[in-house]
Structure 1
Amino acid sequence: MKTRLFEIFTSIEGEGILYGTKTLFIRFAGCPFSCFYCDTPDALPSDSGKEYSISEACNLIDKNLQNNTYKVNFTGGEPLVQHESVNELAK
């Protein structure tokens, strides 16, 4: 199985009840919607980002996880376009 990721980065959550917590953001590539308020239009094309095997993506995520990272945020694009990958990576 392959997945297409746009970027992976650690930052401080800026929204919701976990505002201020250290978070690993996994941004998936591709989105079938055209929301006028999209904050990451570069991640919308399904061929944006880079293709990885699930094993490669897991290794990349492990390398980016830092101490005291409180949560992981699957974002996009639209992560559920690749729902099988999200399911595998969440394990």
Structure 2
Amino acid sequence: MKFEWNEKKNQINYEKHGLRFEDAELVFESKPISFKDDRENYGEERFITLGELKNRVVVVVHTQRDLLTRIISMRKANEREKKIYFKRLKEIG
């Protein structure tokens, strides 16, 4: 899996959430749980992935562009998202 992102947005994300898009690859190497983000019409298909990074659950919002995964945002998961993540992990064994 190859990744890309907007570097300015990466810097803004780091200042706001303390997470760098470069680390998204580690989230996808953990035990990721992904689902389509259809809350709004974004003009492209978006996905939300919950996974682990440095012993905490994080949320990565991304889209697919050809063979590239474009990172849109990354942040720590809230309590509701953590519950969803661990529940789904338990369900899939």
Report the TM-score range of the alignment, normalised by the length of the smaller protein.
Answer: under 0.3
Higher relative contact order (CA 8 A, sep 6+): 1
> Larger helix proportion, structure 1 or 2?
2
> Larger strand proportion, structure 1 or 2?
2
Normalised to the residue count of structure 2, the TM-score between the two structures is: 0.23
